[in-house]
Chains A and B, each alone.
Chain A
């Protein structure tokens, strides 16, 4: 019988043929926690009382959400993670290494066809490299750390086909915001979303990661894509394990098929306080901003920094705006530095902070004051997300954020068409 990608990957990991709706206990290829979730992973692991991990090579912890620590409470959690890592000889990426969703694929912990769990909701990011990866809670990670397994309900699948050629100044972030507007924040709840179409194939792997990253924002369990040559080239040399690309069969069962043509798509903006509250950039032209942020697991990769640098080169950030930039990993930071991007940012008046989540989760690196407005490349604009419930967050692509930082209000990056084409 024909299978979806989700059905195939879960079948491969439980040793029997499973279908949407089945419960399966599967072998998990890799799992991890970050500094907002690992404390409970550690507590739950100790409660299990087994005293040993299943396979130390199938787990790591990343200190990224509040790194370096802004206060004593967080410092104690970081210390607890370091102590635990030493005790069981586990991988730990400490402050300054980068965001977990950049670290995990970049260091080759995952490859095509894998089944991966992370104690972070944006674990769905690696769907772009053909991985069944999904976010779970800390106790689920503790169970997998101890046993190498976890249970899964095989999800139903929605097929999304993205057609057309992206206009200049419009990016993968705009595609996923456009899809979020249409499907809604719970439109894909419990489901797998498979992405297809020429618009997806045309994207770089970096740009595809942005789309899969936000699958959870429409409620999805995974947002997965096929492994084409770009993906196979991307994973080659990163993981020691051979990729096992998985495709859906012809005739696989989809609960819905959605088609989008992005040929005429405008830059998209998610308005406060919901990710599916999306408008075309033109509708928000008068909206003043106090802060701009470029970074995160959504848009903190080299390509994102390059796009922003094109716009910022020989330009100045508006004096009324603080523009904060956090590269997604140390390697990206270094590469950006070698390419002269960091010089461009600093000369433009940006604040470049260490690799990590930056101000995305509102613990440090740029907390907003009452009434302040931010435009960010992150994936969430919930009330209070950036540390102050009386502030306002707009989400957009790196190009829109950079253009807005210069103007001091929400700006259309197509004004820089020549630089971007």
Chain B
């Protein structure tokens, strides 16, 4: 019963997304997503995102992304749908520098990751490949909640619960990389970095 309700709600979200162009990270006005909350919340390391068992031998991101979070929640990957948002706690993405971690999340379909805080290398890697990360209090968001993002105004609304949270503004450099579609496109566009004098 719950499943049928969710499926119906998902269809509604997908319909809405088409109108809002959720695939485009450029200047999103208001986008709606399903929240996918991990059972384990804090200190999710990149080994957990994508295990070394796979990342050392599989180069195709579409193959790799089938194994995300396998060691801590084997059923998780199968539940992810395009446009979902991943919800985590403190220090998300700590550990190894593997870029396969944010790439697998992006390829799996995640529109963004919302966490209380992120580890440094993962933070950089995600924006480099065009995956949006948002810092925000995630304690009240449950798995399956519908959330509404308003990046410009810095708001996240848990529609299912009727709660609104402030999100930490995305730093200038990261915003710029995201707008350009990642660091490679940014570098090609400007022939280098465009933010020399920015602080």
- Contact (Cβ within 8 A) A21 B199: yes
- Knowing A73-B57, A121-B96 are in contact, say whether A25-B52 is a contact too (CB < 8 A): no
The CA-CA distance from A153 to B124 in the complex, in Å, is 11
Complex interface bits, A149-174 against B, C-beta within 8 A gives 1, otherwise 0: 10101000000000000000000000
User: Within 8 Å of chain A (Cβ to Cβ): is B34?
Assistant: no
The CA-CA distance from A77 to B99 in the complex, in Å, is 15
List CB contacts (< 8 Å) of B93-139 with chain A.
94-100, 102-103, 117, 119-121, 124-125, 128-129
Which B positions have Cβ atoms within 8 angstroms of A? Answer: 43, 45, 47-48, 51-53, 55-59, 70-72, 90-91, 94-100, 102-103, 117, 119-121, 124-125, 128-129, 173, 182-184, 187-188, 192-193, 195-196, 198-199
Q: Nearest Cβ in chain B — how far from A85, in angstroms? A: 17
- Contact (Cβ within 8 A) B52 A362: yes
Chain A residues with Cβ below 8 Å from B56 are: 35-36, 65-66, 73-74, 77, 361, 363
The CA-CA distance from A386 to B173 in the complex, in Å, is 36
At the interface, is chain B mostly helix, strand, loop or mixed?
loop
Chain A residues with Cβ below 8 Å from B72 are: 383, 389
5 A-B residue pairs with Cβ-Cβ distance under 8 Å, sorted by A, are A23-B199, A48-B184, A74-B57, A135-B97, A146-B187
- Contact (Cβ within 8 A) A384 B51: yes
Closest A residue to B61 using CB positions: A40
Complex interface bits, A298-325 against B, C-beta within 8 A gives 1, otherwise 0: 0000000000000000000000000000
Which A positions have Cβ atoms within 8 angstroms of B? Answer: 21-23, 25, 35-37, 39-40, 44, 47-49, 65-66, 71-74, 76-77, 118-121, 123, 135-140, 142-143, 146-147, 149, 151, 153, 185-186, 189-190, 216, 219, 221, 274, 361-363, 380, 382-385, 387, 389
The CA-CA distance from A48 to B189 in the complex, in Å, is 10
Which of the residues B43, B70, B120, B125 comes within 8 Å of A274, measured between beta carbons?
A: B43
Chain A residues with Cβ below 8 Å from B58 are: 73
Chain B residues with Cβ below 8 Å from A44 are: 184
Closest B residue to A146 using CB positions: B187
Chain A residues with Cβ below 8 Å from B59 are: 39, 73, 76-77
The CA-CA distance from A76 to B56 in the complex, in Å, is 10
Chain B residues with Cβ below 8 Å from A142 are: 184
Closest A residue to B199 using CB positions: A22
